Chains A and B, each alone.
Chain A
């Protein structure tokens, strides 16, 4: 009888060749984890090359899943379990496996030739080099072939079900239900009964292998995490973002128009929205990034909610049009799914180094609200908020996410769209001038200008990049008018802060001396690191900024009330610079630019050192 050990969290990484189906395996295991009630966070990792050579380290694709009986925030640093489908997968991932971790290896591909291909002189499964780990090595491929033999598949098709065999085994090890996956497979392969039956047989055989073999000393269980009641699904950042944009347009009663040019890691937003045309979504795959934002702005001029989605290099190309949108004062949403730069950089790796580009990357005084999503599911809220601000204030809004949020997934309590706040486009329909004319640059209390769309009689007017006369919108080179208009545009964006939640600090004990300030996707690592620090008995405060411009009301007072301010960012200190410049506080940068999320373990350890330093000053 196998022992059952209860754990509070586990990090599993599935790794194999690009064609081995590791993403599907990971996604299915994630779903079963969700059904079991665990909190989870996932992160796929795949090569930039579409078909890297088989069996090479460059061709390894992996999927990491962190699940727990508590509220977790990141996909985890070091996996506890590595499923390695070939020598390359072992080679590429072993370095990150936790000491004493579990390795489940398919020995089928551990041939002399494959070992040599990735630089192993001898077989690590047998030469003792893995003695510090719990290694479970067996010919998973042969066992899969045997399990599906009677279903009449060719060898190639039979081998392709081995990911499901591995999934079945993991289901057994972590006491997950297999039924959801069996239902999923029955549905997915409904039109191909032999493939369906083989996949189902493989899952069951993998599960039975765990049950019957004495290879495994222990199986594990992780209790459900306490979460608010509701209906949940798992969602990636890019999908949540697309749904948030759609919800914003729907609540405003406007068609949604996306202009986009394919770019990693933002293209999935284009794919998702292109598949949603029955919901009033028009997608335009433009000839370049400039045309993509140009068409989006044109669509906004015509009364749609114009959106463009890109990543850093595309963002650079869009700068001039964002400037025009500032001048036109029309709604426009610009999403930058950040990736490692500069230039082409590392397209599939994450980074947060476009903050200053978003804040300042235009000529002239061109203020733009900037919203940064905190987690994959928060991309929905960030996009919805962007739509609300863009329409209400007649302004371009920049939404920053990143590759980690875009592809990562987590549970999401599905919102009731009917209960989301309505957004009023408030189109001008009547003349607003003293003499019965139309003043397109007359403003409301929020300083938002009158927005009349083509087709509205008597409100014909011209807009353009030349400076506008206050009120009339006519071309003006008047020095005093220009200064007034620069001030009005800045005041309008600054005034959005009055419409947003005040800054909130999380300081549970109320006596922390160190404040950790983050924005965007560092929310996960910072929150998880702070949890560890607090479990160690130290006090630390955290503050997360979703709205980076304008900064929330009350932030300066909070910053000034702590002795040490630490700003972890996946850049060289861009938010730290903004905080220092804005509030004259000694915000210190904690910089990591490795193309990876900030390590929770490393950050927690460093925070403990910093906290102890501050205590020693007392």
Chain B
């Protein structure tokens, strides 16, 4: 069930495992080849830990990735998987999800893969609401090609391809997903295992396209990209449905809607807890979720909301498409029906 419980969940058609599985069952025999200290290790470990908890059959799990460091992910998980083409994983996953309602379909992608070369497929998968869960590893850099700036790099980024500083305005992946009509949008961080587990579990349990942006540190080409979150007067802004939006070491900061209609950060003790905005992830209108997404810094990230921005039910593309398709269960019957179509109405006999 999704969090607001009015629809069949994302795993509704997926058969359950007969005997309990464990982490090792989701570990392939391939040697993991990410750089030492890469955030991808933490995400992989968390993923392998949460998969057995879902209770589904391993053979009904499919992971599709594009190209990039994170897209090596499927090789390390002992499920069905495909390492596909740069940017195209959502398109391939759409075909898998449409063809089969009994599979848990994950997409693994990165900021370059999903937002640059694959931007078109990402937005269309989200607007269609295909029942897939997209893990977008955002390290704000191109790692596999050895350090060029990406579509989420802050403006002015000094890289090999931008020795004088990048001039592009970065994407905010959460804002982009919300603009693309995504029904589930969340953000989490590679190193926060409990939060990562909670968000990914909610995402795969959501029926429809779920986008999870994962802040992921690249120790080689963009080390410390998220260190700003650790400084004084900074940090993650946890979003919890139905709870006031508070953050800071002791929850001393909060978000309010100011007189001019904008969201602003205040000290909770100065305005009173009752004025602090209560998060509503299930609101049909995405405006609040979008406003919250804009609390993310575009340059050096000092503050960023994490958690589930939006989680609403709407019919999925693959369910609607499947409902239009039928096929005779018996092959002779299928052939006989097809014979009728092929013959048509306007015939003559010689």
A interface, CB within 8 angstroms of B: 31, 34-35, 37, 184, 227-234, 243, 246-247, 250-251, 253, 255, 257, 259, 276-282, 284, 286-288, 290-291, 294-304, 306, 320-321, 324, 328, 414-418, 454-466, 474-475
Contact = CB atoms under 8 A, between A and B. Distances in A.
A576 B337 CA distance: 43
A448 B58 CA distance: 26
Contacts of A278: 325-327, 337
A330 to B, nearest CB: 10
B334 to A, nearest CB: 5
A417 B339 contact: yes
Contacts of A34: 348
A301 B65 CA distance: 14
A255 B327 contact: yes
Given A282-B321, A282-B325, A303-B100, A465 B83 contact: yes
Nearest to A323: B85
Contacts of B75: 462, 464, 475
A458 B342 CA distance: 40
A415 B339 CA distance: 8
B59 A457 contact: yes
14 contacts: A234-B346, A246-B338, A247-B338, A257-B95, A278-B326, A278-B327, A279-B338, A290-B91, A290-B121, A295-B92, A295-B94, A417-B335, A454-B60, A454-B100
Contacts of A456: 59
B81 interface: yes
Given A253-B331, A291-B88, A291-B94, 17 more contacts: A31-B346, A233-B347, A243-B338, A250-B334, A255-B327, A278-B326, A278-B327, A290-B88, A291-B121, A295-B95, A298-B91, A299-B98, A328-B82, A457-B58, A462-B30, A463-B83, A464-B75
Counting contact residues on chain B (CB < 8 A from A), the size range is 35 or more
A35 B79 contact: no
Nearest to A281: B325
Q: Mostly helix, strand, loop or mixed at chain A's interface?
A: mixed
Most chain B CB neighbours (cut-off 10 Å) among A284, A414, A460 = A460
Given A298-B94, A465-B83, A454 B338 contact: no
A286 B91 contact: yes
Contacts of B58: 457, 460
B350 A284 contact: no
B344 interface: yes
Given A243-B341, A455-B102, A279 B334 contact: yes
Contacts of A303: 99-100
A300 B331 CA distance: 19
B57 A230 contact: no
B85 A302 contact: no
Contacts of A297: 92, 95
Interface string B41-76: 000000000000000011111101001000000110
Contact of A302 (B95, B332, B338): B95
B290 interface: no
Contacts of A298: 64, 82, 91-96, 99
Contacts of B93: 298
B300 interface: no
B97 to A, nearest CB: 8
Contacts of B334: 250, 279-280
A303 B347 CA distance: 35
Contacts of B350: 37, 227-232
Contact of A284 (B28, B90, B321, B332): B321
B103 interface: yes
A462 B325 contact: no
Contacts of B85: 294, 320-321, 324, 465
Contacts of A233: 343-344, 346-348
B109 to A, nearest CB: 13
A457 B342 contact: no
Nearest to A304: B99
Interface in B310-350: 321-322, 324-328, 331-332, 334-335, 337-339, 341-344, 346-350
A324 B349 contact: no
Given A280-B334, A417-B338, A464 B82 contact: yes
Given A250-B334, A294-B121, A460-B79, A299 B99 contact: yes
A247 B327 CA distance: 13
Nearest to B83: A464
B343 A462 contact: no
B269 to A, nearest CB: 50
A474 B64 CA distance: 16
B171 interface: no
Contacts of B322: 282
A291 B121 CA distance: 7
A415 B85 CA distance: 40
B349 A277 contact: no
B94 A284 contact: yes
B348 A231 contact: yes
Given A227-B350, A291-B88, A464-B84, A250 B338 contact: yes
Nearest to A298: B95
Contacts of B332: 418
B342 A294 contact: no
A272 to B, nearest CB: 10
B92 A280 contact: no
Most chain B CB neighbours (cut-off 10 Å) among A284, A303, A320 = A284
B105 to A, nearest CB: 9
Contacts of B344: 233
A274 to B, nearest CB: 9
Contacts of B83: 462-466
B306 to A, nearest CB: 30
A461 B80 contact: yes
Contacts of A460: 58-59, 78-80
Contacts of B193: none
A259 B88 CA distance: 14
B120 interface: yes
Contacts of A463: 81-83
B240 interface: no
B328 to A, nearest CB: 8
B120 A287 contact: yes
B23 interface: no
A475 B30 contact: yes
A288 B120 contact: yes
A515 to B, nearest CB: 33
A229 B93 CA distance: 48
Given A460-B78, A462-B28, A280 B88 contact: no
A231 B331 contact: no
A291 B124 contact: yes
Nearest to B344: A233
A302 B326 contact: no
A417 B120 CA distance: 40
